[in-house]
Chains A and B, each alone.
Chain A
Amino acid sequence: MIHLEKRPQPSKFWAGFTPVLAVIATMIAGGIMFWMLGKPPLEAIRTIFWDPLFHETFGPYSRPQLLVKAGPLILIAVGLSLGFRAGIWNIGAEGQYIMGAICGAAVGLAFYPSDSVLIFPAMVLAGALGGWAWAMIPGVLKVKFGTNEILVSLMLVYVAENLLASVSQGLLKNPEGMGFPGSRNFRDFPAAYNTELISGTGMHWGVAAAFVAVIFAYILLTRHMLGFQVRLTGEAPRAARFAGVNPTRLILFCLGTSGALAGLAGLFEVSGPAGQVTIDFNSGYGFTAIIVAFLGRLHPIGILLAGLLMALTYIGGELAQLMLGLPAAAIQMFQGMLMFFLLAMDVLSHYRIRLNTPATV
């Protein structure tokens, strides 16, 4: 008989090793699924995990995509993880991402066609402020009136989506766009374009910002009093009050930081890979980042790896659809399996498995 026995303290070894185990388990289970669909399992797995990075012909195209997709996911997830650590649930990063993009783009477009070097920094600032302000709405409402930040931040996503539709057909519409909805393309506005920093890598300012955010979050959580207060509030809210943590300030800090980082992600996306403000500019990064944050165990380094892994399965999944004709549903199943195994394997770090039977029943 198998039974689980709680470990007195979570195992550090297993906490690090379970993600590897989960990827292997996903490959096996996914391989069986692909085989049952009549596709060659090994080739499908290779297409998803290997080809995006190392295929001779596709590699050069898909490799930059890895950082392009992972960048915003990591940037947003790092911000969210601070709040999640403290028990403050910002579910509306998608809305803050949109608002960051709108505000940042608006500042840039207002100065078209200037070539001042100050334009891009001003846009970055405006993007961060836009996301920050949008996240302050649930923050202030929670602090002043005790509203639920989950509901308010989530509902503000839909408000932001409508604002996006409105500005891309109105305020920010390209005057030379022949009536099509959508702003000017930043590719034609060099002073405001978030260009690729190292050619062929997909590395743009947003990816750099994501790496910086990871480092900052790591230092904050392990070396700074504020990070300690964030963790303490999540672990034991009463003890946090006792230790002198001001809950109001902490709520506003967590929501504000996650909003600002989501806003930055939006700005870097709209001024770079997306290129313009359009009705369907947002693509769910704000929601996917929630999964990335939890996959990374709310730890900055974990989030960095989780973001890259998530981006890889997206790119690899698309490649597998293209090359092997796998149905999109099968790819989503495969991604779902990965989430499932990652979370299910967590049990190993909290429990140990015993195979013996009790002496007496």
Chain B
Amino acid sequence: MTGDTRHQNALLTLEGMTKAYPGVVANDQVSFSILPGEVHALLGENGAGKSTLVKMIYGLVKPDAGQMTLRGESFAPVNPAAARSSGVTMVFQHFSLFDALSVAENISLGMDNPPDRRVLSARIREVSQAYGLPLDPHRVVGDLSAGERQRVEIIRCLLQDPKLLIMDEPTSVLTPQEVDILFKTLRKLTAEGTAILYISHKLEEIRTLCEHATVLRLGKVVDTCDPREKSARQLAEMMVGDTLHVPSREAADPGPVALSMTDVSMKSPSEFGTDLRNISLEVRKGEVLGIGGVAGNGQDELLAVLSGEGRAQTGAITLGGDDITLLHPNARRARGLLTAPEERLGHSAAPDMSLTENALLTGAVREKLVDRGFLKWGRTEDFARRIITAFDVRTPGPDNAAGSLSGGNLQKFVIGREVLQRPDVLVVNQPTWGVDASAAAAIRQSLLDLAHHGAAVVVISQDLDELMEVADRFTALNEGRLADPVPTQGLDVETIGLMMGGVHGETAA
């Protein structure tokens, strides 16, 4: 279909949308059209301007210039309520749900004119059945899985009878089986004429689901295509504007056991967290162990018990044969066990402190940045500079605040900080979450290189493609339990899904 005919039949047309923030133009003259009943992908690296664009469509951000036309009429929503009343709804990447309230209560909170609770519950059942998204309106949200929580958000949107549904990274929290259900629902919606604007980093997904893609780079539309006719690699290169470096791995014989956990249980420090139950695992030198699983199944707790922030109630952890169950984080670092938690801002890095100070955060012991309690700022700054150079962190210099870096750059810094300390064992949680394709490739390569040089690496991730790419063995966390690890080679999606869903044993053996 040519541009002109797309334009004439369009549900929503954007023309010359521009939005500038201090120091950066987030969107520069962005124009494209979305047809009714189309799944339209919005592709781009982090910082390409996708979020700003959809926020303008959803009335959260006011454009500096440009106009939108919805079904032939001028469309300039002043707030999300106005957008919703025009038939534009959005499912966010991070859910805005209250854990302590029921499904129906949560849905009614997000509606502009909520009907009577009983009527609403009936409507929720009706819609959830019609679209194949089973959901009990009376359950408390705190007890729901991430997939079920997403259903709550989607049903909230569907109840408003949308013409355009915007979805931001909807599958990042789902098991493969749940992704299938979601895609069926979305296809049903498009068959009824609803258009879907779909943002995702997972290119394979976009190839199966979307009919049209608009590619953004540095705030501008650089290309459009039919993703079904492109390979994932071609799509990635359109986003990056460069050829993509695919991580390569060299086979190495696994050495002796570097890290082992025996029957470790830990109560989660947070009320809605997941307790770890009887976790046992072994990681050998030179090996990458991939731990999959849907978010909230004990990933944070597993990292905490390994980093030393959490204390196991039962069981033992050994590092190179020595018992480290009771050791503090820095004592573990001194012995060669390094970790990188998922949350960058406020956990693995302090956003308002400089990169130099953040280098000190975990580097103090192994890099000898402290002498009898006194800080060696010169040495620390050198260490920060080495991280910035070795990991291509884009920043004016080590004096800049960690929070001023983009997500991908900060993640490169955090991973680089641990890798450069030459760990014997490195445990990372979601190493490439929210990181653009080229930075993700660099991070994965560094993990593989580390393993190649003899370190044991544990990668906790929700991105299965990532785990398939880097891991020698795969296992999954489900409700705080760990499945028996299996070799990654020849593993099929069916088995992975079953391991993530907690059915382990005969199928996963």
Interface residues of A, Cβ cutoff 8 Å to B: 5-9, 223-226, 228, 231-232, 235-236, 238-239, 241-244, 246, 358-360
The answer to whether B329 touches A244 (Cβ under 8 A) is yes
Q: Contact at A8–B23, with CB atoms within 8 Å?
A: yes
Q: Does B382 contact A (CB under 8 A)?
A: no
- Given the complex, which residues of A lie within 8 Å of B63, measured CB to CB? 360
Residues of the A chain whose Cβ atoms lie less than 8 Å from the Cβ of B370: 225
B352 / chain A contacts, CB cutoff of 8 Å: 235-236
Residue contacts A-B, CB under 8 angstroms, 15 given: A223-B374, A224-B374, A225-B373, A225-B374, A228-B357, A235-B351, A235-B353, A236-B346, A243-B329, A243-B330, A243-B362, A244-B308, A244-B328, A360-B63, A360-B64
Residue ID in chain B nearest A361 by CB atoms:
B62
In the complex, what residue of chain B is closest to A243 when comparing beta carbons? Answer: B361
B348 to chain A, nearest CB (A): 7
B375 contacts partner chain A, Cβ-Cβ < 8 Å: yes
* Cα of A33 to Cα of B485 in the assembled complex, Å: 77
Q: Please judge, given known A-B contacts A242-B329, A360-B65, whether A226 and B349 are in contact too, CB under 8 Å.
A: no
B187 beta carbon closer than 8 Å to chain A:
no
Which residues does chain B contribute within 8 Å of A238, judged by CB atoms?
343, 346-347
Tell me the bound Cα distance from A9 to B404 in angstroms.
8
Given A223-B374, A236-B350, A360-B64; A5-B330 close (CB under 8 Å): no
Cα of A133 to Cα of B35 in the assembled complex, Å: 73
Could you list 5 further interchain pairs (A-B, Cβ under 8 angstroms) beyond the known A224-B375, A242-B362? A8-B23, A225-B375, A228-B360, A236-B347, A246-B328
CA distance A83 to B401 in the complex (A): 23
Residue-wise interface mask of B (77-96) relative to A, using a CB-CB cutoff of 8 A (1 in contact, 0 not): 00000000000000000000
In the bound complex, do residue B64 and residue A358 qualify as a contact, i.e. CB atoms below 8 Å apart?
Answer: yes
Name the residue on B nearest A226 (C-beta): B373
Residues of B within 8 A of A7 (CB): 22
Say yes or no: A359 contacts B348, CB within 8 Å.
no
The 5 closest A-B pairs by CB, nearest first: A244-B330, A236-B350, A244-B329, A236-B346, A238-B347
Contact with A along B300-319 (1 / 0, CB 8 A): 00000001110000000000
Of all chain A residues, the one with the shortest Cβ separation from B309 is A241
Residues in B neighbouring A360, C-beta threshold 8 A: 63-65
| Interchain nearest-CB distance for B366 vs A (Å) | 12
Main secondary structure, interface of A, reads mixed
Q: Across the interface, do A232 and B350 meet the contact criterion of CB distance under 8 Å?
A: yes
- A8 proximity list for chain B (CB < 8 A): 22-23, 404
Q: Are B348 and A239 in contact (CB under 8 A)?
A: yes
A227's nearest neighbour on chain B, judged by CB, is: B375
> Contact at B64–A232, with CB atoms within 8 Å?
no
Determine the distance from Cα of A235 to Cα of B403 in the docked complex, in whole angstroms: 12
Q: Choose among B308, B361, B401 the residue that contacts A232 (Cβ–Cβ < 8 A).
A: B361
List the A residue with the shortest CB-CB distance to B349.
Answer: A239
Q: CA A236 – CA B350 in complex, angstroms? A: 6
Cα distance, A7 to B373, chains bound together (Å) = 34
Q: Looking at the assembled complex, report how far the CB atom of A171 sits from the nearest CB atom of chain B, in whole angstroms.
A: 41
- B160 at interface (Cβ–Cβ under 8 A)? no
Query: Complex Cα distance A78/B370, Å?
Result: 24
B170 at interface by CB-CB < 8 Å: no
B280 contacts partner chain A, Cβ-Cβ < 8 Å: no
Smallest beta-carbon distance B36→chain A, Å: 29
Q: How far is the CB of B65 from chain A (nearest CB, A)?
A: 6
Q: Is the CB of B374 within 8 A of A232?
A: no
Interface flag for B333 (CB, 8 Å): yes
Query: In the complex, are the beta carbons of B375 and A223 less than 8 A apart?
Result: yes
B364-380 interface mask toward A, CB cutoff 8 Å, 1 = contact, 0 = none?
10000010011101000
B375 to chain A, nearest CB (A): 6
**Considering the complex, which residues of chain B in the window 323-347 have a beta carbon less than 8 Å from any beta carbon of chain A?**
328-330, 333, 339, 341, 343, 346-347
Collect the chain A residues with CB atoms within 8 Å of residue B406's CB.
none
Point out the residues of chain B lying under 8 angstroms from A9, CB to CB.
400-401, 404
| Docked complex Cα distance between A232 and B347 (Å) | 11
| Chain A residues with CB under 8 A of B374 | 223-225
Residue of A7, A225, A244, A358 most packed against chain B (CB within 10 A): A244
Chain A: CB-nearest residue to B399: A9
